[in-house]
Structure 1
């Protein structure tokens, strides 16, 4: 390894691999280390969503990952007496991000794909079998001490350090960052099973939350014949015993027998809700499980970690390349901390709904949910539960669009339907209706200053020949503009909306304000 880098990433799990790949694609010199040599060969995360697939698309691995994913089935919640009390599912097509909104996946091969992408980047050095020991920082750099398997220590410096090293993060400890307990602590058994045809015939065809007071549990349909149970442990049950094959089968026998399936993994966990009090100390940042842990009831753990590094890396790129003031990095913890807390709160609410142990209270819960839906349970889009950003680098001009994910339509390019990011890149984008916003000189100038791509999307009804903008296949952006009541959006490199405008003057005012907020060092890109 070299003695100096732009960024050092500690931890080569999904968050660390995505961080290293994004940094490498940005042209930065990166070192990524991990104590272990190989990808863990059993699944831990099982769910991802369209936002994460959009990131995989940006990394050039979406097609490879697609071989290991399937759409998430609807999730049905059954109450104390077996009645349906809640139902989550995906929105109907056209899908706003270009991908199925909720998916299940097989983690080990997907992690290997991410590592292969990192290995293909010549400006990223990967060293496994290396342990992070300590760090020191000053106003300009971080120096870390690493130890290899022979016991030899190495001192390496970088401009910034990112700890993606899991729940027991050494980087977090070295930086003196504490976790805040958000008051959720439950013992559960997680069992992954490969089920044969005989067993599959016995099982539900949707994912299920059994909200039963005697033993709450979750059943998740994974890819192919992979099925997962998350089963609450009762008072007095030994977590170590329950994580043995005998212990796992003692609770799985309700659904299947040893003739129906093979155990893949079984592990006892305490489901926690924790979040970092700070997300950085100077030049040291944390992300993923190092920064937060949440119960798995919505399958958002890995997604949250990827959101963390996507939020951080584009900001680091702008700061390191001199295109933004270092104060931009303050928005990382501001944005991600609030988002994680909001989503964790919603996950906790679902957890409390599932985990009600008092039979009478559970029946009251069921009656309330059924009555709230008018007696017939309505399907709620699963993605509606994911909050927007509500602070940080967002326009001061109020809009329902601010902090939401901007859609990714399929647009026509040279006669072919192409997802927008493939055609227009993933830097700042100014997406607008060219029949209402004209690219005047002032717009072109400020777009250059912030390195933004202009993306004119024609209204569906307009049939200009030749067209003065992109035609979209499904009217996704047109519909978004109409719902919000705007004609332009300023889209950040992480695909979140900075601001939205309803005329050229409004758009220019927000863009000029953005340029000033990025700092006086902003340069023509």
Structure 2
């Protein structure tokens, strides 16, 4: 029987990104996917700087960036077109080392993820393979799957199995977890079009049309791609409302058939669900398998990427024996304890936004329902910290920025998948760092502005670039450094720019 460190069930963006990260750490990784090829039509259309930073780690950010569109922000308008709330997005390089937000075409991303994964020598990808049996033996997991190209039944084993297999996850069924339900279950018609020529009056902003009888969302995609998401009312037939003549009638305020081609129409039920249990023994969930969100914040794919960036280095440390026993169990348990509250908060905010789009008609109602609003008709970014897990103090679990080093390089390009100390130069003098732990100071980078944002003189960053805590003295810094672990293994990194 073939043996692997990690088996990933599902080859969407979350599964492919996890495979890249584990492959970089040298783990023998198997990806099993039921479909023969990536879905060729648009699905997710937005990711943020945190996700682009992960793409930087796996070597695809510079391939992906030219294929994206600028995203200046989101606006909420009433039935008369009056601006109710403005949610601007910063432009230019932000704290993560990339633009705050990107609009993209998911097939472009999936092609790049898959093409470059072929260069990972420790990763095996098998498509048209349908997993139907999973058994956790305590020290390993046995998987059985059908190779649908020939009908052959195969058996493999892995130390851990990660279900990145979507809303109908088979791995979630074997975990036998329930779902926390936040009450949003609505049908929306998703319409993707390709303009025949540019139509600048549509604008670059995402627009939420707060029209009680027919709420709608407009999203600008890259190139000539544009999307509308339109509420399907109770009693309306999904097949009827998806017919071209009905779709063009719904789009008539924005667009005519002479101006664009329909690329896709589909009715989706948007859900707001979080799995109660994300791990059972050696079975783990990530992505849509453990959370489903309404689309109003554009965080569906982002959440899955956050999952795998939190999980990969923990699996690597455990699989390579850098941690074991109770420490390994606690490390893996921290995946759910940290990620679940973060995902839940994003979903609950999206639910509030969905309710407001459906029913609100006032600027006051919008601001009152969104605690992150600054009190004007503008809203700041929402970025909740991780839940309780690894680290010391209230500043543990904060996403930290990516300093630029004195030579202009981004920090993560030099210290890939490592723990890193970021400190004022004076505080870093005389530090005795463990092997493999990086050091960035205010003397050799622009770390001062990042430390000021955290409100500390020093911090220690995990491989996923969340903080282990904050330090203002060498004693506090030493306590954080004691939590560091070495690189799981030497990075297995092909040439990808």
For the aligned pair, the TM-score class normalised by the smaller chain equals over 0.9
Compared CA separation, residues 471 and 490, structure 1 to 2 (3 A)? closer
1:359-411 CA-partner distances (Å, limit 9, x unpaired) = xxx33x33445899999954334xx212111311131x233xx2221111222
- The offset of 1:10, in angstroms, is 0.7
1:485-512 CA-partner distances (Å, limit 9, x unpaired) = 3211110111111111012111112333
Compared CA separation, residues 93 and 65, structure 1 to 2 (3 A)? closer
Compared CA separation, residues 523 and 9, structure 1 to 2 (3 A)? closer
Compared CA separation, residues 121 and 30, structure 1 to 2 (3 A)? same
Instruction: Please list every run of at least 4 consecutive aligned residues from structure 1 whose deviation after the TM superposition is greater than 4 angstroms.
Output: 367-378, 521-525
Q: TM-score, normalised by structure 1?
A: 0.87
Q: Decide which of 402, 405, 426 is 2:399's aligned counterpart.
A: 405
SS at 2:406 equivalent: strand
1:471 counterpart = 2:438: no
Q: Decide which of 325, 329, 332 is 1:329's aligned counterpart.
A: 332
- The offset of 1:83, in angstroms, is 1.6
Provide the residue aligned with 1:174 in structure 2: 174
Contact between 1:46 and 1:107, CA under 8 Å: does it hold in 2?
yes
1:129-175 CA-partner distances (Å, limit 9, x unpaired) = 11011111122100001101122111100100011111111121123
1:32-84 CA-partner distances (Å, limit 9, x unpaired) = 01111211111100000111111111001111111211221321110244321
- The offset of 1:176, in angstroms, is 1.7
Farther off after superposition, 231-240 or 294-303: 231-240
Farther off after superposition, 271-280 or 237-246: 237-246
Distance across 1 between alignment mates of 2:206 and 2:47: 15
Contact between 1:438 and 1:504, CA under 8 Å: does it hold in 2?
no
Greater C-alpha radius of gyration: 1
SS at 1:16 equivalent: helix
Query: Gapped runs of 5+ residues in structure 2?
Result: 491-497
Q: TM-score, normalised by structure 2?
A: 0.92
SS at 1:380 equivalent: coil
**How do 1:426-505 and structure 2 match up within 5 A?**
426-440=417-431, 443-444=432-433, 447-448=434-435, 451-458=436-443, 470-472=444-446, 477-505=447-475
Compared CA separation, residues 49 and 205, structure 1 to 2 (3 A)? closer
Contact between 1:177 and 1:280, CA under 8 Å: does it hold in 2?
no
Query: Gapped runs of 5+ residues in structure 1?
Result: 357-361, 459-469
SS at 2:318 equivalent: helix
Contact between 2:356 and 2:366, CA under 8 Å: does it hold in 1?
no
Distance across 2 between alignment mates of 1:305 and 1:524: 24
Provide the residue aligned with 1:425 in structure 2: 416
Provide the residue aligned with 2:240 in structure 1: 241
Provide the residue aligned with 1:467 in structure 2: none
Provide the residue aligned with 2:389 in structure 1: 392
Provide the residue aligned with 1:280 in structure 2: 279
RMSD over aligned CA atoms reads 2.3
Provide the residue aligned with 1:154 in structure 2: 154
